[in-house]
Structure 1
Amino acid sequence: MSALMILREGYPIAFCLMSGILGAILGSFLGVVVERLPARVMAEDAATDSLMYPASHCAQCLHLLNWWENIPLFSWVLLRGRCAHCNTAIPLRLLVTEGLTLLFFALSCWYFPAPQAFLSLWIVWCALLPLTLIDLRHLLLPDAITQPLLWGGLLLSAITGRLPLVDALYGAVAGYLVLWLLYWFFLLLTRREGLGYGDFKLLAALGAWVGWQALPTLVFFAAVCSILFYFCSRRISGELNVIPFGPGLSLAGLTVLILQLSDSGL
């Protein structure tokens, strides 16, 4: 931590630029997570691609990417968004994932010079961004991301003391129970499922990061975001039967954490 603080204070612009480059690299990996993890979770056999194997390749023609085809951001622009082998369009979401992660990493360490603050934001971002994209496409919030996010929040509270461990623990328990009780109330009332178990686990994980005191604000903000998303989607596509709650929870959780870090002066 002290070494990072010295680098950040001594070379702020260079440090933020290097942080952005790191963000682009991690954003490229997050793109792989978004593409491959849902298939692993939903697959009935073990033949599905893992996160590490096979190497990066075109999903259409299975062409293995050369090093120059696998540089975050630049390769997409260099290839004009198409595979060099079969000319199939490369999903724009991969470029967006890399670009957003680059910007978030650079801006977060610029506005929050304390390593404890920007490292926390990086960890949360690297979990919430893929969760958001996966939930939007598949209505799925994989345990492989929500569970490490939960334990990471509890562990960080125990190590750094930014948030009292008891508040983080109560936040995790309360976060799960709030949506679990709402799920059963809605199910008994309408005979339909209004939430998924992944939503419970995600709010539990966010509760471990922001504490039980922030949960009412977080849930309210998440509900507002989800309602706005619903009306915007209906206006664009004309019909939307299911609203993914994960993106609203993710945006609300990240916003609350940023506000908490701002208030703490880190």
Structure 2
Amino acid sequence: MGETVFLFFVAFTLGLVIGSFLNVVIYRLPRGKTVSKPAFSFCPSCGNRIKWYDNIPVLSYIILRGRCRHCNSQIPIRYPFVELITGLASVFSFMKTGFSVDYIFTFFFLCLMISITFIDIDFRIIPDQLNLIGFASGIIYTLFRNDFSLVDAVIGSLTGAGLLFGIAYFYLKLRGIEGLGMGDVKLMAFVGSYLGWFGSLFTIFAGSFIGAVAGIIGAYFSGSEDKGKFEIPFGPFLALSATVYLFFGDTIKEWYFGF
């Protein structure tokens, strides 16, 4: 019992640390900045370097009461939130796979989903670097999986990206406006390399359903006179649906084919 609690603690702590790095990725990547330079964290408001004791995940935010030590500017609550959900992602990955090769790829998948979600919310883009790294990791993962081959990964990628590209193409032809970005299409190539063809289909249809519901609710409460112009990013809903399938895919597949 004590050893299990310790392992959960290790997994959560590791997730917090990685979450702190994801905040760097989320802030810098869409702004065209390199993740590695500068190597230290800095305050976006005043530019001062953040000392290590002010950069402890979650704890420093609480101690500083959510403000920069130098300029007293407000630190967005999203920073500790990203760290917390990354910590939980690490714990759930550990619960699913234990500390193993599967844990590495499962947690890596979730880290990319978290980064993509927050970048897409802020900038309405999904960086090609994240999709490419994700796709490559999915292909590499097939070398270590017993239930999933390279062929499965390729078919999954083609299914997800191909279907979403087709939807985007016909939407553009019918309405004359872009309904889906190519970042979403590339995201599905990445997702398919992990989840296969059925996981890709589930991700698209579940993501579309959840996104449609969220869009209707958001348009209703937006106060905009033209409800049809209310826009929300699609990436976060694809990421959420892909995460659900990652953990419950076998159950979902058995339930579906049971009918």
Fold conserved (TM > 0.5)?
yes
User: Following TM superposition, by how much is the alpha carbon of 1:10 offset from its aligned partner in structure 2, in angstroms?
Assistant: 9.1
Alpha-carbon contact 1:16-1:107 (below 8 Å) kept? no
Q: Is 1:115 paired with 2:104?
A: no
Q: Distance in 1 between matches of 2:250 and 2:138?
A: 14
Of 218-227 and 152-161, deviating more is 152-161
CA contact (8 A) 1:12 1:110 kept: no
Q: Does 1:29 align with 2:21?
A: yes
Percent identity for Structure 1 against Structure 2: 31
Which residue of 1 is the match for residue 119 of structure 2?
Answer: 134
Please tell me whether the aligned partners of residues 134 and 141 of structure 1 are also in contact (alpha carbons under 8 angstroms).
Answer: yes
Amino acid at match of 1:53: K
Cα distance in 1 between the residues matched to 2:179 and 2:31: 24
Name the structure 1 match of 2:237: 248
Q: Indicate how the Cα distance of structure 1 residues 175 and 111 shifts in structure 2: closer, same or farther if over 3 A, else same.
A: closer
Q: Distance in 2 between matches of 1:235 and 1:97?
A: 28
Tell me the equivalent position of 2:43: 58
Structure 1 residue 158, shift from structure 2 partner? 2.6
Once the two structures are superposed, the pairs formed by residues 63-142 of structure 1 within 5 Å of their partners are: 63-113=48-98, 115-142=100-127
Q: Is the 8 A contact 2:96 2:247 kept in 1?
A: no
1:167 pairs with 135, 152, 174, which one?
A: 152
- List runs of 5+ in structure 1 lacking aligned partners: 1-8, 41-48
Shift, 1:168, TM fit: 1.1
Aligned residues: 248
Runs of 4+ in 1 over 6 A off after TM superposition: 261-264
**Alpha-carbon contact 2:160-2:204 (below 8 Å) kept:** no
Shift of 1:77: 0.5
What RMSD over aligned residues (CA atoms) do the two structures have, in Å?
2.1
Q: Is 1:228 the counterpart of 2:213 in the alignment? A: yes
Alpha-carbon distance in structure 2 between the residues aligned to 1:252 and 1:37: 24
The structural deviation recorded for 1:233 is 2.5
**TM-score scaled by length of structure 2:** 0.89
What is the TM-score of this pair, normalised by structure 1?
0.87
Cα distance in 2, alignment partners of residues 120 and 251 from structure 1: 17
Q: Which amino acid aligns with 2:36?
A: M
Q: Deviations over 1:106-153 (max 9, x none)?
A: 233134436244333201111000100010111000011011111111
CA deviation map 1:177-201 (0-9, x unaligned):
1111111111111111111000100
Shift in alpha-carbon separation, 1:247–1:148, aligned structure 2, 3 A: same
Could you say which residue in structure 2 is the equivalent of 1:153?
138
Check the 8 A contact 2:120/2:235 in 1, yes or no: yes
